[in-house]
Structure 1
Amino acid sequence: MVYLNYNNLDEETQQHLLSVSKKEVERKFGEDLKVYAKENHIEYTTILYEEAVKNLYSYHYIFNI
């Protein structure tokens, strides 16, 4: 679960969540994504970003107001 302060949803917080998600995706699927990117002639960073954004939707958020 991700605990967020409702008053602190600025760009910095959003970028932090995205970087955490990227690290998680890279840890879980990094090698598979590299192979997929190479086979399909796609930038690895592009695929990593797209998968990290998808991964954000799997988080459970709790907002503190």
Structure 2
Amino acid sequence: MVYLNYSNLDNETQERLVSVSKKDVEQKFGNDLKRYAKEHHLKYETLLEEEALRNLYSYDYVFNI
């Protein structure tokens, strides 16, 4: 679960969430993503960014108001 303060959803917080998601995706699927990027002639960083954004939807969020 990700705990967020409802009054602090600024750009910095959003970037932090994407960074955490990137690390999570890279840890779980890094080798598979690298292989896929190489086979399909894609940039690994772009693919990782897209998967990290998609991964954000799998998190459970708790908002403190």
TM-score tier (shorter): over 0.9
TM-score, with length taken from structure 2: 0.99
TM-score, with length taken from structure 1: 0.99
Q: Does 1:57 align with 2:40?
A: no
Q: Deviations over 1:6-64 (max 9, x none)?
A: 00000000000000000000000000000000000000001000000010000000000
- Number of residue-to-residue matches in the alignment: 65
- The whole-number CA distance in structure 2 between the counterparts of 1:32 and 1:62 is 31
- RMSD value, Cα: 0.3
Structure 2 partner of 1:43: 43
Identity, % of aligned positions: 71
- The whole-number CA distance in structure 2 between the counterparts of 1:30 and 1:9 is 28
